[in-house]
Amino acid sequence: MKRERKIYDPAFKTKAVQLSNERDNISELARELGIKVTLLYKWRKEYEEFGEGSFPGKGNLKLTPEQEKIQELEKKLKDAELERDILKKGNRHFFQERSMKYTFIKNHEYLFPIEKMCKVLEVGSSGYYKWKNKPISNRTVRKNQIKQQITDIYFDSKQRYGSPRITTELNAIGYKVSRITVAKYMKELGLKSKLSKKFKVTTDSKHNYLVVDNVLDRGFAVAHPSRVWVSDITYIQTKEGFLYLTTIIDLYDRKMIGWSLSNGMSTDETTLAAWKMAIRNRSVQKGLIFHSDRGIQYANKKFANTIESYGVIRSMSRKGNCWDNAVAESFFKTLKTELIYGNKLKTKQEMKLEIFEYIEIWYNKKRRHGALNYKTIEEFNNQNSIYKNVA
């Protein structure tokens, strides 16, 4: 017959160990207690190592005070990481109205504990459950859906869009809503597009090179591609000094067809580099007007001879008149407002990457342009059969 194994509770083990510390003869004590002397020594060793944490019972870990402290810290770290993950997903909702926070919690119940989300988003759990169990009208559901879409579009545009462009995006994905309603909802959500800010464009026009007349004469509305290209240069401040951005825009569809970001202001680094990109991206048509300011990078012989060899008609703004090149300067204002102002200074390498992404992905492909009736460049070109294959 198999002998049944006797189970000793933690209190018995603790008292046995404590008693053994009072006795000189451990073997005799073991006999009195009815246990093997080896088992008593095992208990003594465990108690010496773990103290009050000894004999925790089946399935639990024995921890030293130091280990318990580590376990406590690990628990706090895990808790902080959970809060961080909730904030990362819910940061768009943090400063918004209560119903939007509740909607976020409901949509993420499968991912995070409800109580923890309520704590992070600073709403009461009782209020959430009351909201969740309350019948919601179809009108409220639609309003919340539109607000969620507005929030997504706003942050996807990196807070660059105001109500007109967000309205266009909503209409494009099937939500029929007015700009006034979008503006109202944005105000309720606390969403504002990045505000414009005055900026200074530096142009060195103190030179002896030949300048030309303002042929363009502010004729910014152009019906065909490669009829007018406008160009300008501005500075971008970084942690490591200035970068210089040279741009060439086709007025037809406002596409940035050529650009250069350089450490210096030489013609090769600025205007010539941007020109070379432009002619790779879009063909030069007969009678093309190239408009710029009177800066030395445009007026010097090297650049003038290069573009004139393509049969291009040169045009320059009048001295000190920034409105003569308003489209190019408007781009710089947009760039600096949407990408640079209000953000921390970056290294040159970081800024180069951000500007590449802004021009090639955001501005040329995703941004809705007021001059194109709030269409993207691609949408604008697709609707105009005259130049569907425009680069």
Same domain, 46 and 84: no
Same domain, 164 and 255: no
Same domain, 109 and 232: no
Provide the domain count of the chain: 4
pLDDT number for residue 292:
94
pLDDT number for residue 15:
84
Whether 269 is covered by a domain: the verdict is yes
Segments forming the whole domain that contains residue 77? 66-133
Q: How many CB atoms lie within 10 A of CB 339?
A: 21
Identify the residue whose tokens are 């030309």.
Answer: 212
Whether 199 is covered by a domain: the verdict is no
Same domain, 280 and 175: no
Same domain, 378 and 332: yes
| Tokens standing for residue 112 | 């995070």
Same domain, 303 and 167: no
Rounded CA gap, 339 and 197, in Å? 12
pLDDT number for residue 82:
72
Beta carbons of 212 and 315 less than 8 angstroms apart: yes
pTM score, whole prediction: 0.58
pLDDT in tens, 40-70: 888 888 877 777 667 766 555 565 667 667 7
Segment (H or E) for 331: helix 326-335
Identify the residue whose tokens are 């012989």.
Answer: 301
Same domain, 162 and 111: no
Whether 217 is covered by a domain: the verdict is no
Rounded CA gap, 119 and 116, in Å? 5
Whether 184 is covered by a domain: the verdict is yes
Whether 196 is covered by a domain: the verdict is no
Whether 28 is covered by a domain: the verdict is yes
Whether 26 is covered by a domain: the verdict is yes
Same domain, 181 and 322: no
Domain boundary among 133, 151, 166: 133
Beta carbons of 274 and 260 less than 8 angstroms apart: yes
Q: What is the largest CA-CA distance in the chain?
A: 116
Same domain, 318 and 378: yes
pLDDT number for residue 91:
63
Q: Write out residues in the chain with pLDDT < 70, as ranges.
A: 1-5, 52-53, 56-65, 67-68, 71, 87-97, 136, 194-209, 342, 385-391
Residue 130, judged by CB atoms within 10 A of its CB (0-12, 13-18, 19+), counts as exposed
Same domain, 375 and 235: yes
Same domain, 309 and 323: yes
Same domain, 181 and 309: no
CATH number for the domain that contains residue 328: 3.30.420.10
